Structure 1
Amino acid sequence: MASTARTLFEAKGWAQTTIRGVAREARVSVPTVYAVYAVYESQEGPGRRLQAEDQG
């Protein structure tokens, strides 16, 4: 899901990328996107998951 979000951010920009669009492209539900990123944000802080994947 993170790679899908990153691809959309790069293609459309931050402001034009939506949760619904990420969910559609990743083939998951909108609540799944919120659930997954809520856990990462609460444990690691905003954006840490995407940074970690870039380095890994």
Structure 2
Amino acid sequence: MEEKLHQFERNDVWTLVPKLEHQRIIRTRWVLRNKLHEQDKVVRNKARLVAQGYNQ
């Protein structure tokens, strides 16, 4: 997850801004998945940061 966050910073994916009083914050969640090889061996782990849709 740290590697993914560093990629976000390098690619200027978002800008951190102060919270305004009348706005709600959209929560996020990490979705983790293992990529498997043909013999069901873990090849690598993938992580995605997604916004929880019911708050958008």
TM bucket normalised to smaller: under 0.3
TM-score by length of 2: 0.27
Higher Rg of the two aligned structures: 2
Which structure has the highest strand share of the two? 2
Structure number having the greater helix percentage? 1
TM-score (norm 1): 0.27
